[in-house]
Structure 1
Amino acid sequence: MSYLTIKDLTVRLKNGAPLLRKVSLSVNAGEVRALVGESGAGKSMIGKAVLGILPRAAQLTGGEILLDGEDLLTLPPKQRRAKIGAKVALIPQDPLTALNPSRRVGPQITDRLVDILGWKRKEAEDRAVELLDEVHIQSPDRVMKSYPHELSGGMRQRILIASAFAAEPKLIIADEPTTALDVTVQKQILKLIREMQERHDTALLFVTHDLGVVSKISQSLTVLYAGKVIEETDVRTFFAAPKHAYSKALLAATPKYTDPDGSLMPVPDNIISAVEQEVAAFDAQLTE
């Protein structure tokens, strides 16, 4: 059953320039769907639209965002924020900037439980300690009293993961959560996210530009270019036989760990030109 369904989502800059072009996708309960594409493809913009945190320069001009069958865009702002706060969580990209450096770790996990869900402070603190232990942080009571700068990058990211799962959300949006980490820690964090997602049976929308990460964590993926869906399929099919020429070029451009000395293969100019023409033709259809 689809928990998140996006239909014809359109986002534009206030000057009219399109950022998302009638994007449609779905994420089932317990599924991991990856959003893949180059920088600027619109991956993070989709997550921000779902969370209701689009930049001021952007505006949502069409489409539906159905969360558990209810269109968020039809709800009054206060009711929409309450539903998102209770059902959706975010794992951001950079744990150092996502955590408040002037506050201890504990309150940054418990505030959401107390302020949004109405938990008692002691109950929220006990839950936070349980989650820190669940994400394999040693001495969670000590970490609760620590400041973010006193912890390693891997520990900070584990804290963000614990915070995301704290209120048992039905959907988590992970916005390139391993980009700021070294390769060894990245592997550990990916494994942890997958473990937590399976344990809690959470729908996960995973934003990444790394196809190697996609192969490890996702069951399905959506390929984007310039805010338009280029291909949507399951992961096995994509890696075995991608249909779109741009998808094939992205796959060919991925470094091969089995050939570390091999040359990098950038996406050919003719493929970029063809997909840009496809996007332009799509825009022309929308204005007819």
Structure 2
Amino acid sequence: MTALVIRNLSVRLRKGPPLLRRVSLDLAPGEVRGLVGESGAGKSMIGKAVLGILPPSVEITGGEILLEGTDLLRLPPADRRRRIGASCALIPQDPLTALNPSHRIGPQITDRLVDILGWTRRNADARARELLAEVQIPDPDRVMRSYPHELSGGMRQRILIASAFAAEPRLIVADEPTTALDVTVQKQILKLIAGMQARHGTAILFVTHDLGVVSKVCQRLSVLYSGMVVEDARVADFFRAPRHPYSAALLAATPKYTDPTAGLNPVPDAVIEAVRAEVAAFDREVAHG
């Protein structure tokens, strides 16, 4: 069974413009799919829609979100929250703001296991120590007693990764999980996520603006512009021969770290104008039925 299927998902600001335009994609069990595009393209909006954490100013106007065959959008709100809580998890972008500064680390990992999944506190604590060791944090007992400000950014992100995998979710949304980290720590965290995903067999929807990250951790990717998927491809095929002009321009704009003398290649204005016209044509088609 497919882990996640999104069909014709449309999201808009209440009484405002569209934010997602009939987005469709699927995610197989154990697969990592990248969502790439410029800031504001709708990458994080897809993840928030799946997890049911869209802001109040935003509404879903159509489509389906099938989690292991069940349409989350057709469930009553309480049932939807329980299903998402039991089957999904989030690795957020900024570990400092994601962790509660007034609570110790231990309960921030274990409370979900106890309150949502019904684990005993003893079993949840044992699971937390096991996962902290798996994400290569030394002295898990000390870290569980610590507050977030007492730990480095890399350790905080490792804790969020451990927390995401704690209940063996079917699906994890990783929302730019390395953006707030320096380059050296980013490499360590990406390797850690890839290793955890391989060991646990978890499907991951990986939101990023960095095509270099996609090449390292993803099997497939969707390229978005203004809330519309313009290309859906296997990662190897994308890097060999992107089909959409906007995708090719994004790839060409990626800095060449192996050649310090290479200049930067911004996305050409003509490509931007063409993809904007494509979005406008899509909106006209939707408006006229």
1:259 deviates by 1.0
Indicate whether 1:43 and 2:43 are aligned. yes
Which secondary structure does the structure 1 equivalent of 2:93 belong to? coil
Question: Which segments of 5 or more consecutive residues in structure 2 lack a partner in the other structure?
Answer: none
Partner of 1:23: 23
Question: Which segments of 5 or more consecutive residues in structure 1 lack a partner in the other structure?
Answer: none
Which secondary structure does the structure 2 equivalent of 1:2 belong to? coil
1:257 deviates by 1.2
Measured against aligned partners, the alpha-carbon deviations of 1:16-53 in whole angstroms (never above 9, x if no partner) come to 31000000001100000000000000000000000111
Residue type at the aligned position of 1:270: A
Measured against aligned partners, the alpha-carbon deviations of 1:169-225 in whole angstroms (never above 9, x if no partner) come to 000000000000011100000000000001000000000000000000000000000
- Correspondences of 1:123-138 after superposition (within 5 Å): 123-138=123-138
Which secondary structure does the structure 1 equivalent of 2:216 belong to? helix
Partner of 1:267: 267
1:56 deviates by 1.1
What is the alpha-carbon distance in structure 1 between the residues aligned to residue 260 and residue 249 of structure 2?
19
The TM-score with structure 1 as length reference comes to 0.99
Partner of 1:108: 108
1:2 deviates by 1.7
Which secondary structure does the structure 2 equivalent of 1:54 belong to? coil
What is the alpha-carbon distance in structure 2 between the residues aligned to residue 145 and residue 196 of structure 1?
24
What is the alpha-carbon distance in structure 2 between the residues aligned to residue 268 and residue 151 of structure 1?
43
1:131 deviates by 0.3
The TM-score with structure 2 as length reference comes to 0.99
1:115 deviates by 0.5
Which secondary structure does the structure 1 equivalent of 2:55 belong to? coil
Partner of 1:156: 156
Which secondary structure does the structure 2 equivalent of 1:40 belong to? coil
Which secondary structure does the structure 1 equivalent of 2:274 belong to? helix
Which secondary structure does the structure 1 equivalent of 2:25 belong to? strand
What is the alpha-carbon distance in structure 2 between the residues aligned to residue 83 and residue 57 of structure 1?
24
What is the alpha-carbon distance in structure 1 between the residues aligned to residue 35 and residue 55 of structure 2?
19
Partner of 2:200: 200
Measured against aligned partners, the alpha-carbon deviations of 1:56-107 in whole angstroms (never above 9, x if no partner) come to 1110000000000000001011110000000000000000000001110000
Indicate whether 1:225 and 2:225 are aligned. yes
Please give the root-mean-square deviation of Cα atoms over the aligned residues, in Å: 0.6
